[in-house]
Amino acid sequence: MDASIKHAVTALRGGGVIAYPTEYCFGFGCDPRNIGALARLLDIKQRKAEQGVILIAASLEQVSCYAELKDLARLRQITDSWPGPTTWVIPAKPSVSNWLRGKHSSIAMRISDHPVCLSLCRELDHPIVSTSANRHGQDALLTAADVSREFADQLDSIVDAPVGNATQASTIRDAISGQQFR
């Protein structure tokens, strides 16, 4: 395992907040099971908890720990879009924290096709929070150097690797209606 991935996974396991490359931009991440880490991430980002967050995963099995996939009419459409930069808003399992869902009854999830994202989720053995690396309402940061300049003193690890080839943030779609939100 790459040393920067190992350092990031150690930080995640210890309740840390990290930055890492995604398909389009750098993301902030933490262990979604650690409410203290999530509160810290939202504070760094200056984002309200009621908005909810996206989780990225390495497999459908990881997604199914948070999302109700059973009886979804669009399940084939969802799985055909993964791995890749399509986020689906899926009914959340009852156990999913409001810190992740926000004011919604659903959870936003995707299986990334970025090798760093996949490595982080595989090594941690569960999904991680993925929200763009920026202050809420600001432009997303595209390099580790930019993230470091603005947030180094607030993060526990920055994975210095290039972002993917996407030219825009992930598409976000509703798993029930198919409606595209972004």
Domain assignment of residue 17, given as a range: 3-174
Q: What are phi and psi of 60, to 5 degrees?
A: -65, -35
Paired tokens of 83: 């791995």
Q: What is the pLDDT of residue 100?
A: 96
Measured between alpha carbons, how far is 139 from 162 in angstroms, rounded to an integer? 17
| SS3 of 32-96 | CCCHHHHHHHHHHHCCCHHHCCEEEECCHHHHHCCECCCCCCCHHHHHHCCCCCEEEEEEECCCC
For residues 164 and 161, give the distance between their C-alpha atoms in angstroms, rounded to a whole number: 9
Q: Whose CA is closest to 101, among 169, 36, 55?
A: 55
Residue 152 domain flag: yes
Q: Is the dihedral of CA 99, 53, 132, 119 positive or negative?
A: positive
Q: Is position 103 within any domain?
A: yes
> Looking at the domain assignment, is residue 113 inside a domain?
yes
Residue 179 resides in a domain: no
Answer yes or no: is 9 within a domain.
Answer: yes
Six token digits for residue 126: 């569960």
Per-residue pLDDT tens, the chain, 182 aa: give them.
689 999 999 999 999 999 999 999 999 999 999 999 999 999 999 999 999 999 999 999 999 999 999 989 999 999 999 999 999 999 999 999 999 999 999 999 999 999 999 999 999 999 999 999 999 889 999 999 999 999 999 999 999 999 999 888 889 999 999 999 98
Question: In this structure, what CATH number is given to the domain that contains residue 91?
Answer: 3.90.870.10
- pLDDT confidence of residue 109: 98
125 in any annotated domain: yes
Structural domains in the chain (count): 1
> What's the pLDDT at 167?
86
What per-residue confidence (pLDDT) applies to 1?
63
- 0.75 exceeded by the pTM? yes
CB neighbours of residue 182 within 10 Å: 9
Distances from the Cα of 62 to the Cαs of 46, 50, 111, 153, 177, in angstroms?
28, 23, 9, 31, 23
Write the burial class of residue 163 (CB in 10 Å: 0-12 exposed, 13-18 middle, 19+ buried). Answer: buried
